[in-house]
Every structure is written in structure tokens, then in C-alpha cells.
Structure 1
Amino acid sequence: MKPRIWLKPTAHVILLIGSIIMLFPFIWSVCTSLKNVNEVFTYPPRFFGEELKFTNYTNMTDRFPIIRFFFNTLKITVIVVVFQLITSSMAGYVFARLRFRFREGLFGLYLATLMVPAQVTMIPTFLLMKYYGLLDSHWSLILPSLVSAFGTFLLRQFFSTIPEALEEAAKIDGCTPFGIYWRIFVPLSKPALATLGIFIMLGTWNDFVNPLVFINSMSKMTLTLGLANMQGLYSTDWPALMAATVITVLPILIVFLSAQDIFVRGVTLSGLKEG
């Protein structure tokens, strides 16, 4: 029994070390954003310079429209999150509760799309956006992301855990299938919806490849693409770049910390039962 006494403290120490390693790049970014340019690459390395340069956060807008990048990313992310939650929850409800012919086969084909690498579909998507004249517009980033096979699978698994007695009671009261979905399944699936929403937000907010392929105009760039353009060919204002990086990371960090409990509960509950 004695060796087990050390298991919990040892696990805590390992987790603490892992947390420090994971947080170190973000901490270094914050510290670098408060330095002078000539204090970034010093030996030995220092966390802080001689004075804290908070002006880096205001000066970074002199060369690049970082505020425009922020609102472009926010607009795209909000639209994608809202529509993916709607489409994924409706499709998940259909595959979890409604009985129709070839349901399992269609669901299997739907899941098979998860095995197709994004690089394979990028060229056909680009050609479609070019055909419809949507290149260099935010619609080229929004339209291909309005549905998600992963989101459908996640919510379908969660909907399968809801007792059928609730659905039967609603049917007896004369509730339509859509009414059952909207009045019973959606309110009960808030943890799963919050979890999926965080996943979608992370993927959309941090997306770099799609904006790089579809967006050319500076005024329509997202934060990730804007950060890449802030790195110069011959010189880079690293404090300003790190300040922009901190601003890019903060919204995601705030959302995750605010919904951490719901996120953990949603991940746990979504895999309780296989449909």
C-alpha cells in the first residue's frame, strides 16, 4: 500500500511540469511583446527588458490593420459556429432518433468523409469557389464550413444517450419531430453543443491554410494570415508581432476558461452510449 501513497503527488508533479512546458511559449510571447526590439535576442535570455513597452500593443496597428483582421476572423468564426451547431444538431438528431431506410449506411458514408484529408478536397473546393466568383471573399471560407461530419457524429452519440421515454411522452402530447428536437433534445444537449462550439471555434479561429488559399486582399485577411504577413523578408518587429499573437490567443483562452466545466462534461457525456 505504501507505494500508492506516492502515486497522486507524483502524478501532480508530472502534470505541473507538463503544464509549465505547455504554457511557456505563451508566457514568452507575452514577455517578448513588452520588450524593445534590441532586447528580444539577448544572451542570456531574459523574460523582461529594462522597461515594459506597452506601446507595442498600440504601435502594431501602424503597419498592419490588426483590428480589421480581428473583426474578419470574429465574423467568420461566429457565422461558422452558429451554422455548424444548427446543421450538426439537426443531422445528429435525424441519425440518432428518426427511423428511415438506409439510415446506418448513409451515416457510415457520412463518417467516411472524415477519412478524406482536407488537402484532397482543397483543389475541388477552390475550383468551385472560382466558378461561383467567391474567391477573395469571406464566403469562400464560410460556405465549405457550414456542415461538419465530426459535429454530426458527436451530437448523434450524445442524442443516443437521451432516454426514449422523454421522446415518447412528447409524441403522446402531439409534439412533431422538429418540436421534439427543438424543445427536448436541444435544451438537454447544452454541454455537447458547448463542447462542439469550442472545437469549431478553435478550428476556425486558428485556420491558416484556407485563408492562405482563398484570400488575397489585405482588408479581408484573418488574424492567422495577417500574423504571417507581419513577418518581414529582411527584418521583423518581433515585439509587435508577439503583441498581435497575444491578442489572437486571448479570445480563445477566455472562451475555453469560461466554458471549461461544460466542455469537460460534454466530452465525457458524448461518448457514454453508442447508437
Structure 2
Amino acid sequence: MKTTIEREKILVGLSWTLLLLGAGIVLLPLLVVLLTSFSTPNAVGGTQFTVANYQEAWHRGGFLLAFANSTLVALGVTAFQVITSALAGYALARLQFPGRQTLLLIVIATLVIPFQLLVIPIFLVLKWGHLLNTYWALILPTAVNGFGIFLLRQ
């Protein structure tokens, strides 16, 4: 009769085996994609490795411009989020004014509104403000966030 420790070792070994098998099944298609990305189009079995595909994608895709755009928008959103959340959070936490609790409940209530529901109204406001196709159209809709205000109020 096996002891409890031996049973636990068997279960742990079986668990690890199943987890590694599952990870292998999940990661195998990613490995195939990675190996294919390094092969030439005419290579049989993907035996010729080259970085030419990545060089061509870099030049044709305009990754440097995309990276610069993403960085600019991310820094802008972060700066606005920190400023607006800190100011509003401080006001709701430290200042005493009528309607403070009601305002806090309104801020918390905005957390349950999905962003997809706001897409058309945001588009209309951006169109009205002549902000379409600008960086501001990406930065301003996310400049204030109820979660940030609630987090910094705490």
C-alpha cells in the first residue's frame, strides 16, 4: 500500500506532465509561425533561415512611424490621466463640499458603462470639434477615467 507522500508525488508528476503537454499543444502553432517567418518562400521544409522577411516588413510597414505615433499617444494619455485623476481624486478625498458623495457615486457609476457604448457619441463630439484624424482624437476621449479617479481617491 502506497503512503500519502508517494501518492502526492505521483499526482504532482502527473499534473506536471499534463501541464507540459498542454503547453506544448498551445505553443506548437506559435513555433511553426516563428520558424516559417524566418524561412524563404521557396524553401522546402523551411530549412533556409533568413531575416529578409523582417527587413521587408520593417520597410514596407512603416514601423518607425507607427512606433512614434503609439509613443506620443501613450505619453499624452498617461500625462492627462495622471493629472486629471490626481486632481479629481484629491478633491473627492480631502475637500468638503456639498454633493461630494453624489459626485463620487457618479464617478463610480461610469465604471459600468462599456466604452463600446460611447463610441458613436465620442465620434460625434470629435467631429463637432473638428478633431477627427488628429492625435487629440486618440488622447482626449481617454484623458479622464473613473477608475483612475477612484483609485487615487483611495
**Smaller-chain TM-score bracket:** 0.7 to 0.9
Shift of 1:79: 1.2
Establish whether residue 55 from structure 1 lines up as the match of residue 52 from structure 2.
Answer: yes
Amino acid in structure 2 at the alignment position of 1:131:
W
Find the partner of 2:140 among 133, 143, 155.
Answer: 143
Task: Provide the identity percentage.
Answer: 37
Query: 1:57 deviation in Å?
Result: 1.8
Tell me which of 97, 103, 108 is aligned to 2:94: 97
Change (3 A) 1:28 1:96: farther
Matched residue, 2:4: 2
Q: State the TM-score, normalizing by the size of structure 2.
A: 0.74
Distance in 2 of aligned mates of 1:55 and 1:70: 21
CA distance in 1, matches of 2:109, 2:144: 14
How much does 1:126 deviate? 0.7
1:71 aligns with 2:71: no
Aligned-pair CA distance for 1:22: 6.8
C-alpha separation in 2, matches of 1:74 and 1:23? 30
Structure (1/2) with the larger helix percentage: 2
1:31 alignment partner in structure 2: 35
Deviation string 1:194-238 (CA, Å, 9 cap, x unpaired) is: xxxxxxxxxxxxxxxxxxxxxxxxxxxxxxxxxxxxxxxxxxxxx
Assess, with a 3 A threshold, how the Cα gap between structure 1 residues 100 and 78 changes in structure 2: closer, same or farther. same
Distance 1:35 1:153 in 2: 50
Deviation at 1:29, TM superposition (A): 4.8
Task: Give the whole-Å Cα distance in 2 for the aligned partners of 1:128 and 1:50.
Answer: 54
Structure 2: 5+ residue stretches without partners: none
Counterparts of 2:72 and 2:28, CA distance in 1: 30
Q: Which residue of 2 aligns with 1:174?
A: none
SS in structure 2 at match of 1:37: coil
CA RMSD of aligned residues (A): 3.4
